Amino acid sequence: MILPDLSAPKTFDDQDLGDLWRELRRSAPVVWHGPVGDRPGFWVVSRHSDIVDVYRDSGTYSSQFGNVLTTLLTGGDSAAGIMLPVTDGSRHRQLRNIILRALSPRTLDRILASLRDRTERLLEAAIERGTCDFAADIASRIPMGTIADLLGVPPEDEAFLLSQTRSALSSDERDSRPEEAVEARHEILLYFGELLDLRRKSPDHGVISELAEAEIDGAKLTDDEIVLNCYSLIVGGDETSRLTMIDAVNALAGHPEQWHLLRTGAVDLPTAGEELLRWASPTMHFGRTAQADSEIAGVPIAEGDIVTLWHSSANRDETVFPSPDELMLARTPNRHLAFGYGPHFCLGATLARMEVTELLRALRAKVAELDVAGPPKRIHSNFLTGFSSLPVRFGRHRTDAADGNGDARVS
């Protein structure tokens, strides 16, 4: 089977790959993607069950040589063995546990209170204006504010970090230079190096201070380990939530019957949030490198082969999701892979779910009419999918009050 170049961002600009994924799941769920130019070839895995099997077997399929096409096809990730997403085994478990300790119930309660306030204020301001660019005015500011709060980033630095994270893994422009992404990543690393120095002198409640005091096997984390994991948290914590929120509003505007279910409380917020995460699937793929000869769905995989796992396809797998191309906010169960699976299951999944739920809560309580007011603009990436701009028109909810669960009483 001849595949389009899945390593090229322009492939995802120019076409809807839904038909391709359906055909691959049916007839070639594990297929070889030939080399392009000087880039090596790689395996493409499209079926939900096969992707889950690969994620489970982290001993055979390693993240340590890179976990996205950008690094896998260029010789590996320089942060391997240091940054959590590209670290395996015991070191990965210990480092993950350190960061999880920083996400204590007390911390999450504090984060939730500020998240709810921020979301309501931003949405209320947009409703007052009547129209807004939902991507820039609301979605860009919610997750970045949350993860910045968690890390201990001063509020005045959020805009700078947002501008850099938007370039680090994707671009708003099709003619962007690859060097711009590299420069953005360097800027983020330099920033966290400086913030680490500050937090060592003046500790606070943030994750950076927690990491600075943490030990593995009796030794404190190095500066590189702290800075690179802050980079991972800020980029991962911003991109997935932001792109899901934007896609969610676009989807609700395009599916008025589903918007009605949400607005009237006919579907609960967490269930709706899971379906919108499945629907958006902002992270299109992750990758692994085979550490031994193996098989996936009966197809031989050689040691050293690159294996890519396509959430874009798995989250539309008809054997797992009835009517997968329909948005169904009441869908349950919902075994989507928006956060991956297995040992590398997204560390920020709890935060992302909180952010999406709070957005839906605020929309339900405050908004009666929701329309896309102009053409959306897509991002340019072979890793992420979504919109960089979404003009939206809001109509105010005619309501006297909302109960403690955010259930608006329509007048």
**Predicted pLDDT of residue 275:** 98
**Predicted pLDDT of residue 107:** 84
Q: Which of 147, 139, 187 is nearest to 164 (CA)?
A: 187
- The CA distance from 89 to 10, in Å, is 35
Q: What is the pTM of this model?
A: 0.92
**Predicted pLDDT of residue 15:** 78
**Predicted pLDDT of residue 176:** 66
- CB atoms closer than 10 angstroms to residue 235: 21
CB of 38 closer than 8 Å to CB of 25: no
Taking the domains of the chain in order of start, what are their residue ranges? 9-410
Helices (H) and strands (E) in the chain, counts: 16, 16
* Pairing, β 306-310 against β 42-45: parallel
**Predicted pLDDT of residue 403:** 40
**Predicted pLDDT of residue 295:** 98
**Predicted pLDDT of residue 392:** 98
Q: What is the pLDDT of residues 195-248, one digit of tens each?
A: 999 999 888 877 898 889 899 999 999 999 999 999 999 888 888 899 999 999
Q: What is the pLDDT of residues 130-157, one digit of tens each?
A: 999 999 999 999 998 998 888 888 889 9
Amino acid sitting at position 359:
L
For 9-410, which CATH class?
mainly alpha
With b meaning 16 or more CB within 10 Å and e meaning fewer, what string describes 82-110?
Answer: bbbbbbbeebbeebbebbeebbeeebeee
Please give the radius of gyration of the chain, using alpha carbons only, rounded to the nearest integer.
21
**Predicted pLDDT of residue 170:** 62
**Predicted pLDDT of residue 164:** 87
**Predicted pLDDT of residue 363:** 97
- Return the structure tokens found at 383: 């890793």
**Predicted pLDDT of residue 25:** 98
**Predicted pLDDT of residue 402:** 42
**Predicted pLDDT of residue 401:** 40
Which segments in the chain show pLDDT lower than 70? 169-176, 397-411
**Predicted pLDDT of residue 236:** 83
CB of 281 closer than 8 Å to CB of 315: yes
Helical (H) or strand (E) element with 367:
strand 367-372
